[in-house]
């Protein structure tokens, strides 16, 4: 008898337990199904607020001026100074223009080209392109300035004559010299160099005695010897 009741109770207990388990599974499944949807919906409906961090303000920098390559080439480079040109021409010392009197003595016939002067020897009136300086025969005659002997000749009227060419177109003439003067054509002479001696080789002026006829010209025109010597 006891066993029957115990088997009955055991059968009821088994089914009760099974019912409770099914109920628990049903409730759990309900909450799992519908509770998950509500949670997802709430999450969808919830406002999404994104927090964006503000970037710190960077101070503005001054604009950098850019230069194009074309602008860089506009300014021409400075020209290189030319190398100095050396002048290798030999330096020749200039001879100072020294003028000396060819002879010291009395002037017996003055320079006169602007007016006629009476010539006692020839007995007529004529011009005189130089000066006649009286001196003893054989007295040395000097070159008035440096130059080159242009000619040595025996003139029929002026006697033995030496002509010296100088710079700047000047020429000096020494006449009535003794024969065979110590210079020849082409010789270079210096101021004060002996180029002859006082003579009497000028037939037309022999009456005046021994003297030197000295005349000066520039570019072919007569010049007063006094001006040339003291100029």
3-state secondary structure of 100: coil
pLDDT higher than 70, residue 9:
no
Question: Residue 203: its pLDDT value, please?
Answer: 79
Q: Quick: pLDDT tens for 17-62.
A: 777 777 776 666 666 665 555 554 555 554 444 445 565 566 666 6
Tokens encoding 50: 């994104």
Contact yes or no for 128/111 (Cβ under 8 A): yes
Question: Residue 75: its pLDDT value, please?
Answer: 62
Poorest-confidence range of 113-117, 119-123, 140-144, 168-172? 119-123
Please, which pLDDT band fits residue 194 given cuts at 50, 70 and 90? Answer: very high
Give the HSE-up count for residue 192: Cα atoms under 13 Å, Cβ half-sphere.
Answer: 4
**Cα separations (Å) of 180 from 161, 163, 165?**
10, 14, 20
The one-character DSSP state at 167 is: G
């Amino acid at each position: 008898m006891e066993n029957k009741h115990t088997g009955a109770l055991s059968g009821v207990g088994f089914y009760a337990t099974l019912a409770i388990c099914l109920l628990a599974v049903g409730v759990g499944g309900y909450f799992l199904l519908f509770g998950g949807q509500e949670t997802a919906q709430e999450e969808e409906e919830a406002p999404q607020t994104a927090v964006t961090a503000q970037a710190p303000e960077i101070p503005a920098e001054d604009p950098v001026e850019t230069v194009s390559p074309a602008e860089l080439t506009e300014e021409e480079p400075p020209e290189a100074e030319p190398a100095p040109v050396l002048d290798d021409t030999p330096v020749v010392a200039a001879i100072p223009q020294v003028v000396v009197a060819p002879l010291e003595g009395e002037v017996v016939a003055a320079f006169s080209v602007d007016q006629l002067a009476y010539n006692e020897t020839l007995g007529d009136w004529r011009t005189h392109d130089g000066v006649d300086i009286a001196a003893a025969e054989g007295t040395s005659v000097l070159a008035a300035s440096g130059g080159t002997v242009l000619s040595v000749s025996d003139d029929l009227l002026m006697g033995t004559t030496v002509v010296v060419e100088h710079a700047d177109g000047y020429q000096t003439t020494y006449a009535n010299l003794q024969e065979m003067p110590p210079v020849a054509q082409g010789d270079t002479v210096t101021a004060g160099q002996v180029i002859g001696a006082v003579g009497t080789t000028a037939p037309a002026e022999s009456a005046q005695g021994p003297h030197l006829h000295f005349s000066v010209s520039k570019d072919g025109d007569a010049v007063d010897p006094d001006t040339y010597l003291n100029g």
